[in-house]
């Protein structure tokens, strides 16, 4: 398949991406638009895994700041990612894309448990596999989940879809006027320069397993397809 650069991808969608303008909760029309974009990628024959975040519902760290036990708060966060996963499944199937949701915490009545070899088989059969409940362990993030699943699935790249930001900058472009956008970086650059891309656990895992990461703006229609085809529209992190 020469028309695409990446044949098997892990698309990381933050919870925020599913929330629309309000920034919290689930916004079905917004999710449907994302599903239509993902369908275009599937139509190219690309195998697609999705890791969804849960920041639109709850973050463990917020609970901790409010006096909750961190692990307990993180489990609530993981449950949020399952709600997002089911919403994405609904949207994808409504546009004709077959899917399976796999959860890292068993919830057999509504989704399959995460089984690596089964997930690979689904991909080979043309199904989008949505990974929910993060890693299944507290103190981790869904960015780390994306790196972990990308390694396990032997994915060609992680596509990190951002809301309104088109790549990695030297500083927050919304706050610093002369912030510079990077086209290419290494995972070590991210760690060294403390760039706000993913947390350090996720960066280390991506670096150790040589998984390329592409950071791009989800809000421009057609961008997921552009990245899959190898157009350099965001920031590519390799090495």
Determine if 127 is a binding residue for ligand UDP (CB under 6 A): no
Determine if 60 is a binding residue for ligand UDP (CB under 6 A): yes
Q: Which of residues 76-105 bind ligand UDP (CB under 6 A)?
A: 77-78, 80-81
Min dist CB 134 to ligand UDP, Å, is 2
Nearer to ligand UDP, 7 or 219 (CB): 219
Determine if 10 is a binding residue for ligand UDP (CB under 6 A): no
Determine if 145 is a binding residue for ligand UDP (CB under 6 A): yes
Pick one of 6, 9, 15, 159: the residue that binds ligand UDP (CB under 6 A): 15
The two beta strands, 181-182 and 168-169, are antiparallel
Determine if 132 is a binding residue for ligand UDP (CB under 6 A): no
Determine if 223 is a binding residue for ligand UDP (CB under 6 A): no
Min dist CB 124 to ligand UDP, Å, is 26
Min dist CB 131 to ligand UDP, Å, is 10
| C-alpha–C-alpha distance, residues 202 and 135, integer Å | 12
Determine if 163 is a binding residue for ligand UDP (CB under 6 A): no
Residues flagged as binding site for UMP: 54, 74, 135-142
Min dist CB 177 to ligand UDP, Å, is 26
Determine if 204 is a binding residue for ligand UDP (CB under 6 A): no
- CA nearest 12: which of 124, 134, 146, 206? 146
Nearer to ligand UDP, 4 or 28 (CB): 28
**Degrees (nearest 5) of the Cα angle 131, 136, 137?**
140
Q: How far is CA 45 from CA 6, 108, 116, 185, in A?
A: 10, 29, 21, 28
Determine if 54 is a binding residue for ligand UDP (CB under 6 A): yes
Determine if 14 is a binding residue for ligand UDP (CB under 6 A): yes
Determine if 20 is a binding residue for ligand UDP (CB under 6 A): no
Q: Interface residues with ligand UDP (CB under 6 A)? A: 14-16, 53-55, 59-61, 74, 77-78, 80-81, 134-135, 137-138, 140-143, 145
């Amino acid at each position: 398949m020469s028309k695409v650069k990446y044949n098997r991808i892990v698309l990381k969608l933050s919870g925020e991406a599913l929330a629309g303008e309000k920034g919290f909760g689930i916004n079905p029309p917004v999710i449907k638009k994302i599903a239509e974009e993902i369908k275009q990628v599937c139509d190219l024959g690309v195998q697609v895994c999705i890791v969804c975040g849960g920041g639109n519902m709850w973050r463990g760290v917020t609970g901790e700041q409010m006096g909750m036990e961190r692990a307990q708060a993180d489990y609530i966060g993981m449950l949020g990612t399952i709600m997002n996963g089911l919403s994405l499944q609904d949207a994808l199937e409504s546009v004709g894309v077959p899917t399976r949701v796999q959860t890292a915490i068993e919830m057999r009545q509504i989704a399959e448990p995460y089984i690596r070899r089964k997930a690979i088989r689904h991909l080979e059969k043309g199904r989008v596999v949505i990974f929910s409940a993060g890693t299944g362990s507290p103190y981790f993030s869904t960015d780390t989940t994306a790196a972990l699943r990308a390694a396990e699935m032997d994915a060609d790249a992680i596509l990190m879809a951002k809301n309104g930001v088109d790549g990695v900058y030297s500083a927050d472009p919304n706050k610093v006027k002369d912030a510079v956008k990077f086209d290419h970086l290494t995972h070590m650059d991210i760690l060294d320069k403390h760039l706000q891309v993913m947390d350090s656990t996720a960066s280390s895992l991506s670096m150790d397993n040589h998984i390329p990461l592409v950071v791009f703006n989800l809000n421009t229609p057609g961008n997921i397809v552009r990245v899959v085809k190898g157009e350099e529209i965001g920031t590519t992190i390799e090495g």
